[in-house]
Amino acid sequence: MNQPLILTINIGAIRRISLNRPQARNAQNQQLLDELSAAFEAAKNDDSVRVVILAGEGDHFSAGHDLKEAQEKRANFTVEQRWAYEELRYFDYSMQIWDFPKPTIAQVQGACVAGGFMIANMCDLIVAADDAFFSDPVSQTLATASVEVLIHPWVMGLRKAKEFLYTGMRMTAADAKEIGMVNRVVARQDLETATMELAERIAQAAPFGLKVTKKSLNRSMDVQGLREALSAHFDTHQLSHMTEEFKSIRDKGLSNTIKSSVNKG
Ligand code: ZN
């Protein structure tokens, strides 16, 4: 029996769902993602839960997808196999969080990178510690079309998203707040308390009112084409997994490439 890679606790009407692989900077392997999806499904079906906090144990929210596991198990996937794997675990699981019918808050410290950036930005609100940093370096490091869910222009603005993806830069929590991607930045030691206070405030509102408010807010993005754009990008991303550029990087070792990029700067 594997150790659970997701922790869930209830604090009143708040459910805290936490990535629990701190020794691997909460890198998302298959087990963690499957457990994360199951945790959101359980929170959805539990009427006592009004607000969900998505957090990460340890010093980092998440360094992204587990590329060591990807290299070992999926390096030689066919188009069909990779499509099936990434559609379910990266795209559908992400959209499950986006479409989650109750308010969600990402609680972010340390690294929030690539696949970590993707799931944090599926949440309605983000509270970040002052040591948090955001990056999606995979266009630089893996030669793929970003990550599977191109939420970036929707949460950062087009100009900043281009700079962010073209350069693979790190964005500080303060800069992320300035562009409106993050709601609040607090000292690292206050992160959990500040996120809980915000969640408790939201949980005072009537749940059905919140549910339909969220639905309308998300629909205002859908009428601008969010869902179609994300869906189209997923297809393009799959194509970028089959290029000569990607294959040459894969053959050198995915995890080595990303490790040097996460550690740099
Ligand atoms: Zn991919």
Sequential DSSP letters for 5-33: SEEEEEETTEEEEEE--GGGTT-B-HHHH
Distance between Cα 238 and ligand 1 center (Å): 6
pLDDT bin (cut points 50, 70, 90) of residue 259 is low
Distance between Cα 229 and ligand 1 center (Å): 16
Q: CA angle 93-98-101, nearest 5°?
A: 105
Distance between Cα 106 and ligand 1 center (Å): 22
Distance between Cα 256 and ligand 1 center (Å): 17
Distance between Cα 201 and ligand 1 center (Å): 37
| Ranges of each domain in the chain | 6-263
Between residues 260 and 89, the one the model is more confident about: 89
Distance CA 146, CA 136 (A): 7
Convert the pLDDT of each residue in 82-139 to its tens digit: 999 999 999 999 999 999 999 999 999 999 999 999 999 999 999 999 999 999 999 9
Distance between Cα 54 and ligand 1 center (Å): 22
Distance CA 56, CA 225 (A): 31
CATH T-level topology, domain 6-263: 2-enoyl-CoA Hydratase; Chain A, domain 1 (3.90.226)
Convert the pLDDT of each residue in 134-185 to its tens digit: 999 999 999 999 999 999 999 999 999 999 999 999 999 999 999 999 999 9
Distance between Cα 252 and ligand 1 center (Å): 17
Closest by CA position to 186, among listed 176, 178, 174: 174
